Chain A
Amino acid sequence: MPKRSMRAAINDAIRLEMERDPNVVLIGEDVRGGAGGTGGEVEAYGGVMGVTKGLWTKFGSARVIDTPITESAIVGMAAGAAMTGLRPIAELMFMDFFGVCYDMLYNQAAKFRYMFGGHARTPLVVRGMMGAGFSAAAQHSQAPYNVFTAVAGLKVVVPSNPYDAKGLLITAIRDDDPVVFCEHKLLYGLSGEVPDEAYTIPFGEANYTREGEDVTIVALAAMVPRANAVADKLRKEGISVEVVDPRTTSPLDEEGILESVEHTGRLVVVDESAARAGIAHDIAALVASQGFHSLKAPIQLVTPPHTPIPFSPALEKAWLPDEARIEAAVRTAMAA
């Protein structure tokens, strides 16, 4: 099977779906890059991280739509287009920017179907990059998937590897509900086996990236490779760690998580989103209320501290959950 980076896998998914369905359009600032100005390359960027490179050259300006820096109009236009027959993929660039356009997602797109009595369909994908690790500081490093997950009407995807990213994005584009697709910056360069053809991965089905007996780690996005590394290290010591990657936080594979904890009796949740009211807290509440009797130890949460994200690499490194903290949490769970 060919190897691809997650960046290439995402590009692949968009290209295949745009070939398959003329209603799929890509909308965002610099998804092409190079429009206007004094000349230079005609497709200068292909997304600021190069994720959409080549798509404008292939599909042209009618379907790869470069916009001004105007997030409310990007997401609002995409929502209005989705409600009326297109399947837009709107790019937010950095997920942090949801703050300047949240109304269009939260009050509009997410609510059309319910608010209009089941008569609306809003096949919208809002994608963007998220996550710390690049010294991009407080306004370009957040992972706000917990905020989206709290909204009834949105679906939320947090892929952790290239194979999943491609399959989940194709599912997202074909889905008839609004989907927020969160791409972790630290993972764009991650390489993995990705088939050439289109394939889908259903939402709400967790992936067990490691199987184990003693403790369950539920981890998301960039935390999954870290949890896997901890599992591999501790296995050599005789601690058998199961790693569960939910892949989507809405819908959430509650059954898959509960089943794993029932099997291991211990739970560590690693979540980059927030120190309060994050996905870790949501999953902990799920297991505490529905899986309490299978627990042999208190649930351990590994999250960032309740602070904005610092700029200095020295501080950012301390902010983002790392393997040492995940390992310590597993040992605490095992010791109880």
Chain B
Amino acid sequence: MSAQPAPRAPGPDALAPPLLARAYRRMALIRAFEERLHVENTTGDVPGFVHLYAGQEAIAVGVCEHLGDSDYLGSTHRGHGHCIAKGCDVVAMMCEIFGRAPGLCGGKGGSMHIADLSKGMLGANAIVGGAAPLAIGAALTHKTKGSGGVAVAFTGDGGSNQGMVFEAMNMAVVLALPVLFVFENNGYGEGTGADYAVGSRSIAERAAGFGMPSVQVDGTDFFAVHAAAGEAVARARAGLGPSAIEAKALRWYGHYEGDPMNYRAPDEVARARAERDPLALFRARVAGRVPADELAGIDAQALAEVDAAVRTARAAPFPEPTALERDVYVAY
């Protein structure tokens, strides 16, 4: 099977205005969340490593608009966007990132391990490629129970080279599991270009080699991602097995916050912001269907929501020392 041309994206006309607004709200919330974290991180109050998703918003939201709470999602170390797109509460997320007790994981996971099982969010994952084998397991649960649900594994271009991802793709094909592999090619695995590290150049072609439908789409184009994911999710729900999508975008920040990004051309990010801003592209596409002032209102509301989340997180208590040895086991 070779990678197929991406389905012709039907564009904004295929979606009702309330759905367009909802998608934009989630993308705007991701953008506001990440831009704010970029600033918050410089204060020294955010413990550990932070990896920002800005620039890739259309991928998470384009995929997750097809999912419900009972569908599962396995994420990456760059997981904030996936969490928000899957419906995680931004206040509890921010508390988690600040290491506070009301965080989604009680402050025990942090940015790289945010999970909310009640939303089908199986966790950001700090092991590159780690989500793919877990996601096929979640897909096996749906298949075994006949629930019609699906699972999505997000993996980066870096993770696309990991053996366990290959194993997961093969197993998914062998067992015809209801799973979608989304490869977010943001140009870099840490400080190394995908054009160097992905030997086949095309991740979509390589996924297709495992025997599943696979397409490459512009990951800054919400409608392209949304159309490809819609087809893949429908296939999975119909019992027709796995699919893969390679979505290309650029991350606007470093591998981690503090990354000097000296491996990138000086104007690369500025050009991406000017020419391939997923939110700006979305706004241009929906002009006439969603009023500009409504979109501006959504932007303002996202900023306010994130501001409130930061205020809450900063005021929230750290975990009690008694939490240290709690919840290693259900029972021991």
Spell out A's residues near B (CB within 8 Å).
Answer: 23, 25, 62-63, 65, 67-68, 70-86, 88, 101, 103-104, 107-108, 112-121, 152-153, 155, 175-177, 204, 251
Q: Which residues of A contact B133 (CB under 8 A)?
A: 72-73, 75-77, 79-80, 104, 108
In the complex, are the beta carbons of A177 and B167 less than 8 A apart?
A: no
Determine if B230 is an interface residue (Cβ-Cβ < 8 Å): no
Query: Considering the chains assembled together, what is the distance between the CA atoms of A25 and B123 in angstroms?
Result: 24
Q: Shortest Cβ distance from A104 into chain B, in angstroms?
A: 6
Nearest 6 CB-CB pairings of A with B: A76-B133, A80-B137, A118-B327, A117-B106, A80-B134, A117-B105
Question: CB-defined interface of B122-163 with A at 8 Å, one 1/0 digit per residue?
Answer: 110111001011111111111011000001000000000001
- Chain A CB within 10 Å — which of B104, B109, B137, B168 has the most? B137
- Chain A CB within 10 Å — which of B115, B118, B140 has the most? B140
Question: CB-defined interface of B103-120 with A at 8 Å, one 1/0 digit per residue?
Answer: 111111100010111100
Q: List 11 A-B contacts (CB under 8 A).
A: A62-B144, A65-B140, A65-B175, A67-B174, A73-B171, A76-B133, A84-B122, A85-B145, A108-B127, A119-B118, A152-B328
Determine if B326 is an interface residue (Cβ-Cβ < 8 Å): yes
In the complex, are the beta carbons of B138 and A81 less than 8 A apart?
A: yes
A-B contact count (CB 8 A): 161
Supply 4 further A-B pairs (C-beta < 8 A) apart from A72-B168, A77-B136: A83-B137, A85-B145, A88-B140, A118-B106
Determine if B98 is an interface residue (Cβ-Cβ < 8 Å): no
Q: Which residues of B contact A204 (CB under 8 A)?
A: 332
In the complex, are the beta carbons of A119 and B127 less than 8 A apart?
A: no
Task: With A72-B167, A76-B168, A108-B130 as known contacts, state yes or no: A115 contacts B137, CB within 8 Å.
Answer: no
List the A residue with the shortest CB-CB distance to B143.
A62
List the B residue with the shortest CB-CB distance to A103.
B127
Q: Which residues of A contact B117 (CB under 8 A)?
A: 83, 116, 119-120
Query: Considering the chains assembled together, what is the distance between the CA atoms of A107 and B329 in angstroms?
Result: 15
Q: Which residues of B contact A76 (CB under 8 A)?
A: 130, 132-134, 136-137, 164, 167-168
In the complex, are the beta carbons of B331 and A176 less than 8 A apart?
A: yes
Q: Which residues of A contact B329 (CB under 8 A)?
A: 113, 153, 155, 177
Task: With A72-B133, A117-B108 as known contacts, state yes or no: A112 contacts B123, CB within 8 Å.
Answer: yes
Task: With A73-B164, A117-B103, A118-B326 as known contacts, state yes or no: A79 contacts B171, CB within 8 Å.
Answer: no
Spell out B's residues near A (CB within 8 Å).
Answer: 72, 74, 103-109, 113, 115-118, 122-123, 125-127, 130, 132-142, 144-145, 151, 163-164, 167-168, 170-171, 174-175, 326-332
- Chain B CB within 10 Å — which of A74, A77, A82, A83 has the most? A77
Query: Considering the chains assembled together, what is the distance between the CA atoms of A76 and B138 in angstroms?
Result: 10
List the B residue with the shortest CB-CB distance to A35.
B174
Partner of A177, one of B103, B105, B139, B331: B331
In the complex, are the beta carbons of A113 and B164 less than 8 A apart?
A: no
Query: Considering the chains assembled together, what is the distance between the CA atoms of A119 and B134 in angstroms?
Result: 17
Q: Shortest Cβ distance from B140 into chain A, in angstroms?
A: 5
Query: Considering the chains assembled together, what is the distance between the CA atoms of A176 and B138 in angstroms?
Result: 17
Task: With A118-B326, A121-B330 as known contacts, state yes or no: A108 contacts B134, CB within 8 Å.
Answer: yes
Q: Which residues of B contact A103 (CB under 8 A)?
A: 127, 130, 164
- Chain A CB within 10 Å — which of B107, B116, B134 has the most? B134
Q: Shortest Cβ distance from B267 into chain A, in angstroms?
A: 38
Q: Which residues of A contact B326 (CB under 8 A)?
A: 118
In the complex, are the beta carbons of B105 and A107 less than 8 A apart?
A: no
Q: Which residues of B contact A79 (CB under 8 A)?
A: 133-134, 137
In the complex, are the beta carbons of A117 and B107 less than 8 A apart?
A: yes
Q: Which residues of A contact B109 (CB under 8 A)?
A: 115-117
In the complex, are the beta carbons of A77 and B140 less than 8 A apart?
A: yes
In the complex, are the beta carbons of A119 and B328 less than 8 A apart?
A: no
Q: Which residues of B contact A176 (CB under 8 A)?
A: 330-331
In the complex, are the beta carbons of A25 and B130 less than 8 A apart?
A: no
Q: Shortest Cβ distance from A168 into chain B, in angstroms?
A: 15
Q: Which residues of A contact B138 (CB under 8 A)?
A: 80-81, 83-84
Q: Which residues of B contact A113 (CB under 8 A)?
A: 327-330
Q: Shortest Cβ distance from A257 into chain B, in angstroms?
A: 17
Query: Considering the chains assembled together, what is the distance between the CA atoms of A81 and B117 in angstroms?
Result: 13
Q: Shortest Cβ distance from A61 into chain B, in angstroms?
A: 9
In the complex, are the beta carbons of B136 and A80 less than 8 A apart?
A: yes
